[in-house]
Structure 1
Amino acid sequence: MKALKMILVSGLAVSMLAGCGKQQAATSPNATATPTATATAANPVTIKYYNWATGPSIEQINQIIGNFEKKNPNIHVENVQLVNNGNTLDFYKKLDLMAASGESIDVTDFSNVDFVTERAARGVLEPLDEYLKKDNINADNTYFMTPKYDGKVYGLENSSQLWLVAINKDALDAAKLPVPTWGWTWDDFREYAKKMTKGSGDTKQYGAFFHTWGEYANMTAYTELPNPYLKKDQTPVFGDESFKNFFNLRRAMEKDDQSVKLYSDIIGGKLRYDSEFLGGKAAMIPTANFVLNLIKDKTKFPHTFKTVFAPMPVSSKNVEVGTSNLGGGFVSVGKSSKYKKESYEFAKYLTQQLDLIRDLPGLKDVDKDKVLKALVGDKTDLIDVNSLSATLFDKRIKSVYDPSYSTSYSSQLKPVLENGLSKFLLDNLTPEVAQKQMIDDANKIIQQNKK
């Protein structure tokens, strides 16, 4: 059973991987490292870069690869899409099957820090500390977030995803409200939502929208706790007061204020955050900077209003300004790669190149004007650059995420949070009852992974 767990995709692909339990040697933390070869001008090597890119992103990656190969003629990079539907969960299933079968993995993308640390715990990834040391790079000082397991670095941040609040400027102006700034609270957010709610029936514009992802179940846990699922001692954090407070906020905004749609309607109608906000059905939405590409896509989301941006609210005025949920995309090197040094060189280049900016970089030190120009383009009629700049580039921004809390099963705990809010709202539970159920469910997962 323990061998099988080493190759599971955190509960997402149990049935697909059930027959792979015999491949423990391919994923065990004690597995023998693959011998490393070295590229030379006379003997160039080819490494593979695994990702889930679709559409224009594939060509953008190819451009980045071309630039890298010009500077590193001894390294050829093959752009490999493991899936053609852009679905990251399908991508991880295939990646884990590759690892389980002992197939060589050179460079791979990850969409979440937990997915990096889980595979680091299984021995799938190469620690990068020695490579970084030779380049005199301090990852913590260079990137906003550094995936670590057991004190070692296992990924470099390729893109940063800062959570923020996108607001319909027309709705904001109609309510005669100023653009929120750093330090506003969830109580302020609630008041803004009430004042921007207008109309009724099918034409009603709600003041805000909460999506169904785990981040929306307790946004305070992601912005103000070192880990949204676990304490330092690896016990569930779901008893924290923030869960009670945020659950009660969600219920009050639904039932008392009627400033957000009912959770049951969101689930039943399979409503999406992008169409609700850009369709004018909700005046504001907590999201991350990936929303910029959606705002610019007027073909898919026809709209004329300008979007302004605010930082994520905090639980109280006592919270340090700049604290936020700062996620991102990461690049890692496979333990099984025959060309680890060359793979590291490409991973480093991916995260530090600014010739082609596809998203907010993971680097702390960047030319913000260059980045803003790349992110906004000619869509200044749809995106308020001043509020976006103040939100994305405040020098006080920091993540409270602590990599030492990470486990090999972190992603299995996110559904516990999602289900906890769902039961709280749909079954009309008290926060205390919902929290106890979440703690019990989390403890079962923890115990299963200790066997």
Structure 2
Amino acid sequence: MKTKSKKRLSVVLGSMLAVSLTLSACGNSGNSEKNGNAEAGTNAGNTKVDKQVAIKYYNWDNEAQSAGTDAMLQEFMDQNPGIKVEHVTLVPGDSVEMLKKLDFLISSGEAIDVVQVPSLGGVLERATRGALAPLNEFYEKDNLVPEDEYYVNAKVDNNYYGLQYTKSSNYVMLNKDALDEAGLSVPTFGWTWDDYRDYAKKLTKGEGVDKRYGTYFHTWELYMNAPAQTMMKDPFVYDDGTTIFADPTYKYFFQLRKDMESADKSAKSYADALAAKLNYRTEFFNEEAAMILAGNWTIADPGNTEQYPHEFKTAFAPVPVPPAGSEPKDYEGKYFTSGNMLAMGATSKNKEASFKLMRFMSTAVSDNRLEFSGYKKADNETLLTKLVAGKEDMYDMDSLKYTLFDNEIQFLDGAQVMTTATSELTKIIDDGFSRFMLGNESIDKVQQWMVGEATKIINEKGVIK
């Protein structure tokens, strides 16, 4: 999603689940188990490995995540006895520092086989430096079309450099009891941010310390311009490499935020959210707010009543779309999705074995998988069943399954143009939003300033194509 836009709410689901629940390693019974293993073997790819080889799998697992990864790697080795895989955790629990260490290893000439990268941009940046191997020949050998296999593909100059390992996406969580009380139905795809504003007004109840707001907007960039963060391929640049800060969604959503907190009083103020350092989960589960924009890293939370005590049922809805006249440039009506990627080092001496492992990790049916897969044919519903097991009464399951899996919900292809100046551009979003919300500068003046600052940075840093 984007937890801060630079993460794009791509927070690893497994790291959240490790704290809130323990996944059982129960296998399927009877023929279904046999079929599951057969499918995993097929999905791992048909590339042949003729002799025993040793390869390394690099990532940034923390201790809890490492156990799941090790179990999946063992499954792979059991099915492929000719390949030995060493799991190398470069920097436990820190993807940013992990990438720095990875770059050092690459520059020192170490043979990198398979590496988990936290974002599409991380793959594209290293691909343009020649650090990663193109995957085209392996896809062709196995008669695979990448776009048919994965939601997001890392592609530079018609060469594929990474495949999607995990899948994250955004949604809205709603207090189902509050909806019923207000006579409101659970929204479906196509509801707009104007509808969201209307829902928030109708869900606002009470006064003072007993007030329940219709919604809560957290302090991340996701909540400063949700359409740009959830319905555009990249939150910083268009496909032509120019800044998106001139996009009509900025004027629309900045004004929506101000109107909802100042005129409607259906959302806590941005100033209060900053000053009190509020927690968005606490705001929702403590019934301080009836709706919140979140993402699939929170799926386990409604059932985790020990950490988040509450009695109401949680419903789910797709992210609202911008109303007519406020759509982003090149609007497709599809959602952004992200996730961790798998890539192969250009220096790998065992590329066939490495690709076989990449396919297995991204496609295998495994009880050890803790995160939704970026593989289009994955059975993510089975994983969902495990995540909510025993707590189904805390969920509106129909709306959850619809929001996550219905064919009406479509996703954008991965961005083909990105910038390396994400931290600088993120600061411009933060500063521009603060100038509008707290400094009362006009939206036109703020947007003009944002565009000017972003253009200077993009011209200086360039873009990845």
Same fold (TM over 0.5): yes
Residue in structure 2 matched with residue 384 of structure 1 by the alignment: 396
The one of 410, 419, 440 aligned to 2:431: 419
Q: Secondary structure at the match of 2:115?
A: strand
Q: Which residue of 2 aligns with 1:334?
A: 345
Q: 1:351 Cα deviation (Å)?
A: 0.7
Q: CA 1:275–1:87 in structure 2 vs 1: closer, same or farther (change >3 Å)?
A: farther
Match of 1:244 in 2: 251
1:44 corresponds in structure 2 to 53
| Aligned counterpart, 1:447 | 459
Deviation of 1:404 after TM superposition, in Å, equals: 2.2
1:141 aligns with 2:148: yes
Residue number in structure 1 paired with 2:33:
none
Q: Retained in 2: the 8 A contact 1:117–1:408? A: no
1:65 corresponds in structure 2 to 73
- Which runs of structure 2 are paired with 1:154-193 in the superposition (5 Å)? 154-193=161-200
Cα deviation 1:215-251 (Å, max 9, x = unaligned): 2221111343343321232111211111100111111
- Give, in angstroms, the shift of residue 168 of structure 1: 1.5
What does 1:282-297 align with in structure 2 at a 5 Å threshold? Answer: 282-297=289-304
Q: Structure 2 vs 1, CA of residues 276 and 142 (structure 1 numbering), >3 Å: closer, same or farther? A: same
- Among residues 74, 91, 94, which one is paired with 1:87 in the alignment? 94
> Partners in 2 of 1:450 and 1:124 — Cα distance?
19
Secondary structure of the 1:400 match is coil
The aligned residue for residue 261 of structure 1 is: 268
| Change beyond 3 A, Cα 1:251–1:181 | same
Q: Report the Cα distance in structure 2 between the residues aligned to 1:253 and 1:275, rounded to whole angstroms.
A: 20
SS at match of 1:182: coil
Q: Does 1:431 align with 2:431?
A: no
**Number of the residue aligned with 2:384:** 372
Q: Residues of 1 paired with 2:242 and 2:208: CA distance?
A: 45
CA, structure 1 residues 206+344, in 2 after alignment: closer, same or farther (shift >3 Å)? Answer: same
Alignment deviations for residues 282-334 of structure 1 (CA, whole Å, 9 cap, x no partner): 21111111111333333332333221100110112697896222222221122
Aligned residue runs from structure 1 range 309-348, under 5 A: 309-316=316-323, 323-348=334-359
User: 2:127 is matched with which residue?
Assistant: 120
Contact 1:120 1:154 in 2 (8 A): yes
CA spacing shift, 1:106–1:420, aligned 2, 3 Å: farther
CA distance in 2, matches of 1:376, 1:170: 19
The CA RMSD measured in Å over matched residues stands at 2.5
How many corresponding residue pairs?
Answer: 412
- C-alpha distance in 2 between matches for 1:200 and 1:337: 63
* Contact 1:171 1:196 (8 Å CA) reproduced: yes
Q: Distance in 2 between the 1:139 and 1:365 partners?
A: 12
Unpaired segments ≥5 residues, structure 2: 1-5, 7-47
**1:186, distance to aligned residue in structure 2 (A):** 0.2
| 1:184–1:317 Cα contact (<8 Å) kept | no
Inter-CA distance 448–142: structure 2 relative to 1 (3 Å threshold): same
Work out whether residues 207 and 260 of structure 1, in 8 Å CA contact, stay in contact via their aligned partners in 2: yes
216-225 or 409-418, larger mean C-alpha shift: 409-418
Query: 2:231 is matched with which residue: 203, 207, 224?
Result: 224
Match for residue 411 of structure 2 among 399, 417, 431? 399
- How far residue 44 of structure 1 moved from its aligned partner, in angstroms, is 2.9
> Which residue type is aligned with residue 67 of structure 1?
E
Distance 1:236 1:229 in 2: 6
The separation in 2 between residues aligned to 1:130 and 1:308, in whole angstroms, is 44
Matched, 1:56 2:64: yes
Kindly state the Cα deviation for residue 117 of structure 1 after the two structures are TM-superposed.
1.8
For 2:184 and 2:305, the matched residues in 1 are separated by 26
CA distance in 2, matches of 1:56, 1:450: 38
* Code of the aligned partner of 2:409: I
- TM-score (normalizing by structure 1): 0.84
Q: Is the 8 A contact 2:204 2:266 kept in 1?
A: yes
Moved more, 63-72 or 333-342: 333-342
